[in-house]
Amino acid sequence: MTGPEAPDERAATWRSLRSAASRELSDEDEARRLVEEVSGMSAAALVTALDEPAPADAAVRLASLVGRRRAGEPLQHVIGHWSFRTVELAVDGRALVPRPETEVVAGYALAELERRREGLELAVAASGPPPPGEEDLPVPLVAVDLGTGSGAIACAILAESDDVEVVGVDVSGDAVDLARENAERLGVPALRGRFLVGDWYLGVADFLHGLVDCVVSNPPYLADGEWADLDPVVRDHDPYDALVAGPTGLEAIEAVVAGAPRVLAPGGALVVEIAPHQAEAASALARAAGARRVQVEKDLAGRDRVLVAEW
């Protein structure tokens, strides 16, 4: 048997399996996550059950997962799902593995939607009392997630707001299928979360012209020359086209920024993930496209990461 081994598999406990996996991987945290997956228990539940006997097939299944991880497969793919803000996403090779930086991007998109919500509610209040029966109806909002991938940002918005319709767009049909699967896991009405195959704004620019409250995107922003230097776990398993934009790395950002004024409603905002060294160039693109407010926000590590622009 390869992978984690217990001295006596008939008497293996979750603790002994976790210890064996940790030795195999030289990573206690990854071993813990894999044991949680095999056990079906939460982290808290597993702590109280560490010295209980594991089922007979647990060691075999854990050995398979450890073997995949040791072969270089991303931990997220091995587990098959991953947390992103408040949602649990299915994760596989059809789209990028969700990253903490993108959770920050989703947070700024939600903040911009809240700003829009408050502005629209003030405008409605200023226009006089609503018709009878419509006093408590929320002001509907529309967000577009360009390059939606696994649907991580779209699903976060759907889960954390109940008055936003989200349209996710990706050039990859496989990614769109994965995003739909993740949205279905949330149980939100299909009309609130729609996912389309398209190249950036193609397919949404006409029917959402001037109606979008927030465009959000995690586009590819690596230059061609950066690909070879990536960690093999990323290079060998994440889709190339979801990472690399072209010779400069700004090509996709340019497309996302240039198309935003056409679909955004007055006062709508664009939120885009960027590389730290692209902050100045991305800001210049937004100003050239007519944005009246342009700012760059930082990620959890204090690096320039999010372009926010308002038209």
Does 124 have pLDDT greater than 50?
yes
- Banded model confidence at residue 9, pLDDT cuts 50, 70, 90: very low
Does 257 have pLDDT greater than 50?
yes
129-168: per-residue pLDDT in tens? Answer: 766 655 555 668 999 999 999 999 999 999 999 999 999 9
Q: Answer left, alpha or beta for residue 149, where phi above 0 means left and psi between -120 and 50 means alpha.
A: left
Does 7 have pLDDT greater than 50?
no
159-197: per-residue pLDDT in tens? Answer: 999 999 999 999 999 999 999 999 999 988 878 999 999
**CB neighbour list of residue 189: distance below 8 Å, 6 or more residues apart:** none
For the chain, strand residue ranges (E) read 81-84, 87-90, 141-146, 164-170, 193-197, 212-217, 222-223, 244-246, 264-273, 293-298, 304-310
Distance CA 82, CA 80 (A): 7
> CATH code for 100-310?
3.40.50.150
Does residue 45 or residue 138 have the better pLDDT? 45
Mean pLDDT of 34-42: 95
